[in-house]
Structures are given as C-alpha cells and as structure tokens.
With several copies, the nearest count.
Chain A
Amino acid sequence: MNAPLRELTYAQAIQEALATAMEADKRVFIMGEDIGVYGGAFQVTGDLVHRFGEDRVMDTPISELGAAGIAVGAALAGSRPILEFQFSDFATLAMEQIVNQAAKMRFMLGGKVSVPLVMRLPSGSGTGAAAQHSQSLEAWLAHVPGLKVVQPSTPHDAKGLLLAAIDDPDPVMVFEHKLLYKMKGEVPEDAYRVPIGKAAVRREGRHATIVATSIMVHRALEAAEVLAGEGIEVEVIDLRTLRPLDTATIIESVKKTTRLACVYEGVKTLGIGAEISALIAESEAFDYLDAPILRLGGVDSPIPYNPVLEKAAVPQTPGIIEQVRNLVKGRI
C-alpha cells in the first residue's frame, strides 16, 4: 500500500479505534465518567457521543465499582463494553469486580463463559496532579491470571492494541499514558490489529538490551541515541503487553547483548521490571549475562506534587543514559 502517511495523536488514535469498533459491531459500546458531551477528561472520546448517541457513549455517575460490575454483566449477556476510568487511580475502587469477577468468571464457571470487556486506564505521572492521580498500577493487574494487560507507547499501537483488545474474548486492561495523549505519530486508516502478547524491537543494538514500557520507551530511545554517539549500541524493546509476556523476544535479545536494563514508571519494587529480571534470571539467558540486571523504576514514594520532585520520582532520560552506560562499562 502506498497510502500517504497520516499522523494522529495518541488520543485521536484511540478515538479512531473506538469509532471503528463501534461502527463494525453493534454490540460495542463505551461507558465512563464524562465521556459524553464533555468528551472525556483527556478528550479521548471527543465527539463520539454525537456520532453514536448517548446509548452507546454512556456517561456514568461517579460509581467506579458499579460501572465495572455493569461491564462484567453486559459482557456476560452478549454486549461488548469498553469502560473508561477517568484516572487509573480510581480503578482501585473497582478492583473487586476486575479481579474477583472479570478475571476469574470464566475459570470459576468451568470455561463456560467468556467476559469480553475492555477497560481503559489513563495512568502515569508528569501532570502535576499529585499522588492520587498519577499512579502506574499496571503491575497489579499483570499479576492477575485471567486478565490481559497492554500498555501502548505510540499512536499506532494505541489504535492497534485497542482494536485487538476489543476483539479479544477475555478481559483486557489497556493502560494509557496521560503524557502521551498529545504525542503524534503515524496511524494507518485501516482497522489493523497489533497482536496482544508481542513485544516490539524499537531499535537494534548489541551492547545492552533495554526493556521499556509506555512513555519510558521514548526515554529509552533518547538514551540509546545519545549512547550510540559514545559507541554504545543499545537494543530497545517496547514490551507493549504485560500479560501475557513475550518472553521469547526478550530472551533472544539478552542472549545477543548479554546485558539487560528494565525501564518502567511504576514503583520499582514489584514493578514490571522485577518480573522481566526474574524471567531472565531463571531462563536460559542467565548464562549469557555479563552484568547484573538493572532496574530503573519509580522511587519508593507516592508521586509528589512539586514538579521537580515529581520528575525525580520516575526515570528520566539522563538517568537512563548514565546507568546504562555504567552497565555496559561494567560499573554496576
């Protein structure tokens, strides 16, 4: 295909996926707080309510637990709900339905039902919204069998992973990053899917592998660019799916580069980097390792309001450069 490149923002790409799915399948509907005439807190749903009507773009009361349960029930009864949490932090109110019901229903009922729902969770820090509006809780949900968890880092993947999530017969949690909503990138017009469970090698390299998620993919790529100028060639893997993990792609890369750093925004302790590290440490790649496995994650603190502190709380490009340089130079 030689169609001219078209750029959309990450938010527009998500909106396009929603519209595409609603047009293709009458069962698909979206629900959430202020997603109708307000257009969503981050203007992701935008004008969809005018295109699809209030019955398919449903404003809910501020009732996260109830809304999540309604999504479960609607999915069981043949509809295809997509629930937007206004901030992923508020999903803490709905954990019961997400974890005890959506994730386990199929298993508990002996495989006799599926729960095809999608939840969208705007996450991450950097907006000055402080500790209760800035969390990255994706590791929680990646810990839960029965769920699938994706975390797109580009407009292209935001659309493609969301469409794959909507197709999926099982519950899929989509962690979006608030700072990425305005990022632009190429987005094909057709209804392509990005497969759930496949990582993407964003840059090839031979001295070290960085496995990064979400916005950290971009910081890792910036760091790789700088390090390349120093002769250090870093392979950057965009994890994209946190459950199920694309173990093969990571193992293969580490066998080649012999060094691994994980860069993620969630709290370092028990964040996704812990799993990647442990995966490698128990895999065949272990024998190839020439250095300890590095984790760069969020500090052990809630996200502060003050912007300088807020930046200090999660990995930034200069820190990634320095630490990966040390890793490759054997200083860790």
Chain B
Amino acid sequence: MAKPVAAAKSEAASNQRPFYKQFTPEQLKEALRRMCLIRRFEEGAEEAYMRGLIHGTMHLSIGQEASAVGATMALRKTDYITSTHRGHGHCIGKGADPKLMFAEFFGKEEGYCRGRGGSMHIADVESGNLGANGIVAGGIPIAVGAALAIKQQKRDDVALCFFGDGATNEGAFHEALNMASIWKLPVVFVCENNKYGMSVSTERSMAVANVADRASAYNMPGVIADGNRIEDVAEAVTTAIARAREGQGPTLVECKTYRTRGHSRSDRNRYRTKEEIEEWKLRDPIGHFETELVANGIATADEIAAISAAADAEIAAGIDFARNGTDPSPNDVTRGVYTPGNPS
C-alpha cells in the first residue's frame, strides 16, 4: 500500500541532504533554471555555429551543467570567478544574461566583449565573472590574484576558479595553488574533471588517479564530488567557500563529470568509445536534478516543465536579439587596446 503523500514527503525531508536545507526552494528552482538555460544556450549556439551564423570555435559543456551551477550557487555578486575555454556554463551560473552572450558570439557591439572576445573570452565583469580564458590554466593564478586583492581590501568575498583536469598538468596550477595556500587566500579551486584534456585521458596525462590527490602537495583539503549531481557539487563548494570566507584558506574541489559533446567542433571522438559517451548521457545532471526536486517536494513536474519552456523561450529571444545587434566598424579595430583618457 502506497504511503500517503505527506508522510513520504516528511520521510524524504528527514533523509534530505543538507543541500536542500542550505538553499531556499526559490534558489533551488533558480539553479535548475540556470542549468536548463546553459543546456539550451549551448544547443542554440551549436546550431547557430553549424548554420554558419557564428564563426570561430566553441567548446560545449553539455553534461557538465551541475558543476557550473552547483559551484556558483553560494556565490555573491561581489565574489569573483575565473573561467575556461569551456566557460558558457560558468558565465550563466554566475548570473550573465544569455542574450548578451549570444550577442558576443555573433560578434556584436552589444555583446559582453563588444564582439572582440567571442566564446573563448566570454566574461561579465559586472556579475563578477573575470572571464573565460583561451589559455589552459591561465585563469588559475588570476583567481589567486583576485583573492589576494580581496584579502588586501579586507573584503569577505571569495574568488572561485574553474579549470579542467588537463589544466592541472600546467605549471601555473602548481605555482598558483602553492601561493594560495601559503598566503591562506580566499579562493576555491574547482576542477571539472571530465576525464579528458582534449583527447588525452587523465590516465595518460596524470600520475595520480584523482586531481584531488594533488591537494596534499599544497596542504589544502582535496575533495571529490560527483560532478553530475548538483547537490554533491554545491555541498562541497559551499563548505569550501565558507572556509575561504572565514580566512581558513583554499580548497581544491574535484567534480567528476563528463562532456558528452566533442572537445570542439573538429573532434571526431577517436579517443573514446561510443559506449562510454552513452553511459554518461544516462547520468544527465539535469534529469537527475529534476527528479530530485520532485522527490524532495520542492518542485512539481509542471513547474519543471515551465522552467524548461521558459528557458527555450529565453534562448530563442536571445538569438533574435543577437542577430539584430550592431556590427562593429572596421575603423574601430584598435579601440579598447588602451584605456582612454590615459594620463600619459
């Protein structure tokens, strides 16, 4: 005999993970909304790219939405993030407006970077996103520097730094984590370990099994989270953020996840099997979160459908907005290189 609904709910509540108490239902639904937006944004961008409307290259994070949103949920607007070449999710997670991101992809003056940066440099300084980065690991010391400035200015903000597994093989990772640790800076290192740096698996590129195993070399906690489960990511990162705000120094959080798309458009997936990809598709972070929200009594199926539909609409409108944006003039090619009104 099925239990009455109320009883099921209260039982669920007692088993509930801290995640569902740390955040309000509104925050949780907003998190789902952002995950949906990221997914739709990237699907929209991919389509525009394939139709030749967007040029250049782009790196999709489809399948990794839980880490992008879970890691940014506990951040304030005055906190910073630095992001990566695979940075659309981080950008939306931190609060950017998809239509201004699309405008950037379409190379328009309305874009976040006035069409000068594109996907690989997407940023929204207003919302605290110091930018994606075309250089693997390039953003890691930058985040540490932002954390140093926060400390110097006696703010209780934090800097959160996204990077991939491959980035942890760069010297910049090593130098930055060491300095963050000796100076106890308010920074959280979030590694999105999607098993590959382009085509090279972590087994072939790293001497240790987990990125988190490297944390001990910097005397900081190294935490592993299931990167496809937002509750896991958010709990780990929230703890790390709290530590950082309290002046206890940095944490390395490794989110185990997977990108279901190729590295970039030119990827022929020769380095991995179809089975592996399919297996991970079954672990879709959005589907998982939707199920959990319902199971935890936070959202109804209808609400979820509405969130999803709203995301669709927002993305469609964003693309429209972007296509109708203003093209930069070739006469302005050197605009923005130096700060105007410069004293010297």
B is a partner of A: yes
Query: Residue B175 at the A interface, CB < 8 A?
Result: yes
How many angstroms between the C-alpha atoms of A131 and B133 in the bound complex?
Answer: 10
Query: Residue B4 at the A interface, CB < 8 A?
Result: no
- Contacts A111-B335, A167-B344, A304-B115 given; indicate if A100 touches B328 (C-beta within 8 A): no
Nearest A residue to B327 via CB reads A308
How many angstroms between the C-alpha atoms of A245 and B169 in the bound complex?
Answer: 38
Nearest A residue to B140 via CB reads A69
Give the Cβ gap from A303 to chain B, nearest Cβ, in Å.
9
Enumerate chain B residues within 8 angstroms of A39, measured Cβ to Cβ. 270
How many angstroms between the C-alpha atoms of A77 and B157 in the bound complex?
Answer: 11
Query: Residue B7 at the A interface, CB < 8 A?
Result: no
Give the Cβ gap from A56 to chain B, nearest Cβ, in Å.
8
Enumerate chain B residues within 8 angstroms of A164, measured Cβ to Cβ. 343-344
Contact size range, A: 35 or more
Give the Cβ gap from A182 to chain B, nearest Cβ, in Å.
13
Give the Cβ gap from A27 to chain B, nearest Cβ, in Å.
8
Binds A, one of B34-42, B143-151, B242-250, B314-322: B143-151
How many angstroms between the C-alpha atoms of A75 and B152 in the bound complex?
Answer: 12
Considering only residues 85-144 of chain A, those with a C-beta below 8 Å from chain B are 89-90, 93, 96-97, 100-101, 105-114, 127-133
Enumerate chain B residues within 8 angstroms of A148, measured Cβ to Cβ. 338, 344
Report the tally of A-B residue pairs with Cβ distances under 8 A.
292
Task: Check if A130 sits within 8 Å of B117, measured CB to CB.
Answer: yes
Query: Residue A34 at the B interface, CB < 8 A?
Result: yes
Nearest A residue to B117 via CB reads A108
Give the Cβ gap from A166 to chain B, nearest Cβ, in Å.
10
Enumerate chain A residues within 8 angstroms of B135, measured Cβ to Cβ. 89-90, 93, 96, 100-101, 132
Query: Residue A175 at the B interface, CB < 8 A?
Result: no
Enumerate chain A residues within 8 angstroms of B342, measured Cβ to Cβ. 168-170
Query: Residue B17 at the A interface, CB < 8 A?
Result: no
Binds A, one of B64-72, B86-94, B120-128, B287-295: B120-128
Q: A283-323 interface mask toward B, CB cutoff 8 Å, 1 = contact, 0 = none? A: 00000000000000001111011111101110000000000
Query: Residue B222 at the A interface, CB < 8 A?
Result: no
Task: Check if A112 sits within 8 Å of B125, measured CB to CB.
Answer: yes
Enumerate chain B residues within 8 angstroms of A254, measured Cβ to Cβ. none
Query: Residue A185 at the B interface, CB < 8 A?
Result: no
Interface of chain A, main secondary structure:
loop
Considering only residues 29-58 of chain A, those with a C-beta below 8 Å from chain B are 29, 33-34, 36-39, 41, 43, 55
Considering only residues 163-177 of chain B, those with a C-beta below 8 Å from chain A are 166-167, 169-172, 174-176
Nearest B residue to A110 via CB reads B114
Query: Residue A68 at the B interface, CB < 8 A?
Result: yes
Nearest A residue to B179 via CB reads A66
Enumerate chain A residues within 8 angstroms of B27, measured Cβ to Cβ. none
> Which residues of A are in contact with B by a Cβ distance under 8 Å?
27, 29, 33-34, 36-39, 41, 43, 55, 59-79, 81, 89-90, 93, 96-97, 100-101, 105-114, 127-133, 145-146, 148, 164, 167-170, 193, 195-197, 299-302, 304-309, 311-313
19 extra interchain contacts, Cβ-Cβ under 8 A, other than A67-B175, A79-B153?
A: A60-B205, A61-B200, A62-B169, A65-B172, A66-B174, A69-B172, A69-B176, A70-B144, A76-B142, A77-B146, A78-B149, A96-B138, A101-B135, A108-B117, A111-B114, A146-B337, A299-B333, A302-B337, A305-B115
> Which residues of B are in contact with A by a Cβ distance under 8 Å?
55-57, 80, 82, 107-108, 111-118, 120-121, 123, 125, 130-131, 133-138, 140-150, 152-153, 159, 166-167, 169-172, 174-176, 178-179, 182, 197-200, 204-206, 266-268, 270-271, 327-328, 330, 332-339, 342-344
Q: Which 5 pairs, one residue from A and one from B, show the smallest C-beta to C-beta distance?
A: A73-B145, A69-B141, A66-B175, A128-B56, A110-B114
